[in-house]
Amino acid sequence: MSSDAPLSSDDRLQWAQRYLLGELSSAEVEAFETRLGEDEELAAALADVVLIHQAVGDVPFPAPLREAVPDSRRLLRRFGWSVAAVAMVGVVALVQQTPRQVEMAKGGLELSHPEVLDSLFASSADDEDGPESMGVDPSDDEINALDVPDWLFAAVEAEGRMDDSGRPQEEEL
Amino acid sequence: MSDAESTRRSELVAELYAQHGEKLRAFLYGVLRNVELASEALQNTFRQAVRALPEGTPDGIRGWLFRVAYNEAMLIRRRARVASDALQRMVESRAVETPGGGSGGETAQRIADDPLVKRETIERVHRALENLPRDQRYVVEQRIYGEKTFAAIAEELDVPLGTVLTRNRLALEKLRAALSETESSPRE
């Protein structure tokens, strides 16, 4: 931007926005600020851009915009959510199993020791291959809510009531 | 200056403040990136207006106010720079480590945190935003609210950068019109 080149109203707005957002080089900033003292319309454009940014920044992220996300990404997001839900249910089921069942299921893996379970949780918590790597926004409400369907919980509870042979245990009176 | 003249001038300045105060404050914030300093510069600007307001048309006076505001902002900046340099020298001489501190520019989020805009202005801009064509609105929000670069938005939408810039420009023009609407609307 030269400090004496003619600027249209649109140009002024664009330059003002780039100035505000810190997108100008130091030479451009210098030229812009020099001009700011002489060009009332440029000063007014900067004021308007500040006001617009303030006002737009106040807007909560509108729901309709989420529709602009490509369908493939939405499907991926749903897939990621499903994987997370199933994994969580798996861990819950694992915890509810008796130590002996775990040993049988895992071919003798010493999950009966609490520290092994701890490390299992710790490693899953530290795992960098989280939802982000699947293109899923971890701040997404859909993910954070982890709205596991009731039938899945019912299935886990039923699993907990089974004996070693896979038959339902008798209710304790 | 006679009492009558003084009263007339004070009334005129108060009217000018009501008319241009918000925009001048926003302009000063744009230059100074600090609410307190912008307020200080605004006060100085109107102090000057009370002392030496030129005769002229309202448009001419608006230009004068912007020039005075600009000079006040530059003055404050120079003063702040001098103070900052002095502080830096002091810090260096004592070999004290200071925290990282902020960069020159502040983010849009910081702007959003500062109460520069009247509620009715925000509401008008919100309405204008809602009325934007969806593609323009998306660009504006991703740029301002999402703090994405135009290049990143273009890549995400799989459209040329020029398209995104055009959408942004058209949107800004419409949002700006909403600000003007605020100014021309009758004051309560």
Provide, as residue numbers in chain A, all residues whose Cβ is less than 8 Å from the Cβ of B69. Answer: 43
Region B19-33: mean pLDDT is 92
CB A15 within 8 Å of CB A32: yes
Provide, as residue numbers in chain A, all residues whose Cβ is less than 8 Å from the Cβ of B138. Answer: 65, 68
pLDDT at B90 over 90: no
Query: Which residue in the block uniquely carries the two structure tokens 């990143």?
Result: B152
- The answer to whether A59 contacts B145, with C-beta atoms less than 8 Å apart, is yes
B113-151 pLDDT per residue, tens:
445 667 788 888 889 999 999 999 999 989 887 888 899
pLDDT over 70, % of chain B: 79
Q: Which of A54, A56, A40 is CA-nearest to residue B30?
A: A54
A62-119 pLDDT per residue, tens:
333 333 444 455 555 555 666 666 666 666 555 555 454 444 444 433 333 444 334 4
**Total Cβ atoms within 10 A of residue B123:** 15
- The answer to whether A40 contacts B31, with C-beta atoms less than 8 Å apart, is no
- The answer to whether B27 contacts A46, with C-beta atoms less than 8 Å apart, is yes
Most confident segment among A4-18, A35-49, B3-17, B137-151: A35-49
Q: How far is A35 from chain B (nearest CA, A)?
A: 11
pLDDT for A55:
84
- Give, in degrees to the nearest 5, the angle at Cα A49 between A43 and A52: 145
In angstroms, the CA B34 to CA B28 distance is 9
Q: How far is B8 from chain A (nearest CA, A)?
A: 26
pTM of model > 0.90: no
Q: How confident is the model at residue B4 (pLDDT cuts 50, 70, 90)?
A: confident
Q: How far is A75 from chain B (nearest CA, A)?
A: 16
pLDDT for A144:
40
Query: What would the two tokens of residue B23 be?
Result: 């925009």
pLDDT for A94:
55
Q: How confident is the model at residue A61 (pLDDT cuts 50, 70, 90)?
A: very low
pLDDT at B159 over 90: yes
CB B172 within 8 Å of CB A49: yes
A137-170 pLDDT per residue, tens:
444 444 344 444 454 344 444 444 555 555 555 4
- The answer to whether A50 contacts B26, with C-beta atoms less than 8 Å apart, is yes
ipTM over 0.90: no
pLDDT for B155:
95
pLDDT for A66:
37
Query: Which residue in the block uniquely carries the two structure tokens 């997001």?
Result: A77
pLDDT for A118:
45
For B119, name the nearest residue in chain A, comparing CA atoms only: A55
Provide, as residue numbers in chain B, all residues whose Cβ is less than 8 Å from the Cβ of A37. Answer: 67, 70-71, 74
pLDDT for B153:
94
Give the single-character DSSP code of A164: T
CB A15 within 8 Å of CB A1: yes
pLDDT at A44 over 60: yes
In angstroms, the CA B126 to CA B108 distance is 16
Size of the A and B interface in Cβ pairs below 8 Å: 127
Out of A86-95, B5-14, B20-29, B161-170, least confident range = A86-95
pLDDT for A83:
64
- The answer to whether B144 contacts A56, with C-beta atoms less than 8 Å apart, is yes
